[in-house]
């Protein structure tokens, strides 16, 4: 995946670098004074170890595509997981980058074993990032409002920019999710972070599959958000670090709204 991403960046003429941990950083376009990059992210690793044989032989996975009654499709592999968590997120992030003039993207290693990649990333790289969109939530209509007990954004940000996504893109379910890279970036950058569904299902199982139409929808949603948020910085500072508690009125509001 690292080789693929670096070759992809080269073909697209994106700025690209890799750190000592193995994380990959891309940038496209030049900022005007006072502006900030939108930043998209996904992780490179997967729990699906049956793919190693195909990688060693440089062979494509034996993908199967089936139509559903609702007009959508599912893509899967017979007998082992596809690895859509989080290869689907990578596809979405690259598609957004391809279709917007100014953008950054970062792809992390070792998310599945404790977010070790994002925990050891090059934080100065984010100094000109204005907000972060991760694509590492399951399903197509699901997103995180918190990760590992930390809010990713505040109520005002949700009501101003994200609530409209339900009507426009079918994003109806915001969930308190466990550990993922969005949590690390939220804690370490003090930027508003988002974590959206990447269209993968039954992740971490042998029956994992992806829905490509939902990946397309996530891409369109990301581009819509960039147009809406613009090239501004959205800071959500905190000091000291805190967890969800009764004194955090925004967190109480989210819990009540989404029945959690």
Domains of the chain with CATH codes = 31-257 (3.40.630.10)
pLDDT range class, residue 242, cuts 50, 70, 90: very low
Q: Are strands 173-177 and 142-147 parallel, antiparallel or unpaired?
A: parallel
The yes-or-no verdict on residue 260 having pLDDT over 90 is no
pLDDT value of position 67:
97
143: enclosing H helix or E strand: strand 142-147
The region of weakest confidence among 129-133, 211-215, 233-237 is 233-237
The model's pTM: 0.94
Does the structure show a pLDDT above 70 at 246? Answer: no
Rounded to an integer, the average pLDDT of 105-113 is: 97
Element (H, E) at 55: helix 52-56
Share of the chain above pLDDT 70, in %: 95
Rounded to an integer, the average pLDDT of 114-119 is: 96
| Cβ density class 22-38: b for 16+ within 10 Å, e for less | bbbbbbbeeeeeeebbb
Q: What is the pLDDT of residue 51?
A: 87
The three-state secondary structure class of 63 is: strand
- Residue of higher predicted confidence among 257 and 246: 257
**pLDDT (mean) for 216-240:** 89
| pLDDT at 82 > cutoff 50 | yes
């Amino acid at each position: 995946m690292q080789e693929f991403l670096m070759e992809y960046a080269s073909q697209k003429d994106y700025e690209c670098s890799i750190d000592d941990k193995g994380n990959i950083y891309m940038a496209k376009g030049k900022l005007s004074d006072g502006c900030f990059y939108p930043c998209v992210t996904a992780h490179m690793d997967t729990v699906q170890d049956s793919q190693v044989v195909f990688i060693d032989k440089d062979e494509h996975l034996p993908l199967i595509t089936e139509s559903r009654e609702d007009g959508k499709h599912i893509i899967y592999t017979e007998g082992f997981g596809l690895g859509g968590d989080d290869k689907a997120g990578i596809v979405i992030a690259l598609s957004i980058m391809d279709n917007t003039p100014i953008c950054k993207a970062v792809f992390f290693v070792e998310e599945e074993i404790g977010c070790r990649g994002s925990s050891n990333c090059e934080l100065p790289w984010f100094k000109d990032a204005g907000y972060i969109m991760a694509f590492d939530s399951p399903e197509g209509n699901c997103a995180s409002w918190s990760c590992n007990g930390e809010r990713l954004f505040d109520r005002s940000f949700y009501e101003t920019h994200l609530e409209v996504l339900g009507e426009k893109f079918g994003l109806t379910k915001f969930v308190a999710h466990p550990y993922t890279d969005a949590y690390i970036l939220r804690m370490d950058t003090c930027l508003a972070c988002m974590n959206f569904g990447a269209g993968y299902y039954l992740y971490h199982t042998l029956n994992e599959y992806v829905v490509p139409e939902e990946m397309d929808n996530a891409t369109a949603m990301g581009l819509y958000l960039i147009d809406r948020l613009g090239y501004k910085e959205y800071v959500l500072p905190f000091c000291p670090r805190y967890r969800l508690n009764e004194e955090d009125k925004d967190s109480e509001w989210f819990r009540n709204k989404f029945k959690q």
